[in-house]
Amino acid sequence: MNKDVIWLIRGSQRKELFLNMPPRSFLPNKVRKELNEKSNTNLSLREVSRHLKDFKKKNLIRCLNPSDPYNLIYELTSKGKKIQRDLSQLKI
């Protein structure tokens, strides 16, 4: 099993957020709102931002406009899309 998949599984919020990221570009606040409504969680924007930084360090996502201080737009990398598929098939 891939070490990034194992890392994602170890954090329940991290795993839920990663599995619910859309395949197209997204804004963190929109993903947070949809996830909180869908899974009845209560992730703050600060928690989402922290997870996104970790995903970026592991090359699972990339920021499309890093110079904008307020409305960062992210998208999954090809590595991130593959790991998202692998993780969703595990049913954990």
pLDDT digits (tens, 9 = 90+) for 16-65: 999 999 989 999 999 999 999 988 788 999 999 999 999 999 999 999 99
CATH, residue 53: 1.10.10.10
pLDDT at residue 2, rounded to an integer: 87
Total number of domains constituting the chain? 1
By residue range, what is the domain housing residue 43? 3-90
pLDDT at 36: 92
Q: Residue 35, exposed/middle/buried by CB under 10 A (0-12, 13-18, 19+)?
A: buried
Positive or negative: CA dihedral 79, 67, 30, 8: positive
Cα distances (Å, whole numbers) of residue 27 to 32, 42, 51, 71: 9, 17, 13, 7
pTM above 0.85, yes or no: yes
Closest CA to 62 of 11, 21, 7, 2: 21
Q: What is the pLDDT, as a whole number, of residue 90?
A: 86
How do residues 64-84 score in pLDDT, each as one tens digit? 999 998 899 999 999 999 999
- What the block records as the tokens of 83 is 């790991």
